[in-house]
Amino acid sequence: MTEFDKNKEIDFLINELISTNDRIDNNMEIPDNYDEKRKLLRALMNTQTPVQLSDEFYKIQDRILSEETNNKDLVSCEDIETISQNPNEIDSKIALWQGDITYLKADAIVNAANSQMLGCFIPLHNCIDNQIHSASGFQLRMDCYKIMQEQGHEEANGNAKITSAYNLPSRYVIHTVGPAIPYGREPDENEIRELESCYQSCLELADEHELKSIAFCSISTGVFNFPKDQASKLAIETVRNYLKNNQNTNLEKIIFNTYSDEATEIYRKNLK
């Protein structure tokens, strides 16, 4: 595809999002540079409320996003080494991997969502919710919107929902809502149970759909402020207990995904 065609296609996407968002000036200036246009497209998709978009929009969007995904250095969960190589041990199904979760080829990746379950509306925000929705496509927001409309209320902490992953390399996204801890306060017993429930609910949902692999982000440890070390211990304990109590699980690999060196060291220490 020529540079002209790429610019023409992304202009179409930008213009449709502008025209369907009454909070945006229809005379918004569109950059000339493709990379700047791409940033604007992501920002517009982030801020777009659930709305019917054209088939042509999705056709072009999917072509762009799938090409971007295919150009990434994707990692198969099968290539990630488990903590133990002894098949008789629980940890033979548990792995630790540092990297961008949107690069991971797994049956499911876990998204740390908020109670609205519609993704992050802050343009170009670097939270995992924004990253997953941006790489997946606008269909993900629409699927979540449909689920929430049918449910009729916001998602409770500790629950989980599953959707297709669309243009991500994974098959599914499992969305779960962790507890948000006020700054300067330690988690209380209820919030600890809610975080445990996040992991439990995701594992149960994965088994319901007969999935073989799942990758967990560090739920609630970003802007939701759950202490990283405590959250890591809760996550590991909950996963190990699930595997002990569900020996017929379909799950063959459960991955703890970290992004920073600090988080990786915390998990490495707690997995010993």
Residue 59's Cα: distance from chain center in Å? 22
Residue 143 has a CB neighbour count (10 Å cut-off) of 21
pLDDT of residue 4: 57
Q: Taking the model in full, what pTM does it have?
A: 0.95
pLDDT of residue 13: 98
pLDDT of residue 77: 96
pLDDT of residue 199: 98
pLDDT of residue 184: 87
Q: What's the token pair of residue 79?
A: 């290539």
Domains (ranges, CATH) in the chain?
3-70 (no CATH), 75-271 (3.40.220.10)
Q: In what order do the strands lie in the sheet with 108-113?
A: 94-98, 253-258, 213-216, 108-113, 172-177, 160-164
For 5-22, b/e burial (b = at least 16 CB within 10 A) is: ebeebbeebbebbbebbe
Neighbouring residues of 218: CB distance < 8 A, sequence distance ≥ 6? 112, 228, 231, 232, 235, 256, 257, 258, 259, 263
Q: Give me the average pLDDT of each 10-residue run along the chain (272 residues).
A: 80 96 82 95 97 97 97 97 94 98 98 97 96 98 98 97 98 98 94 98 98 98 95 98 97 97 97 93
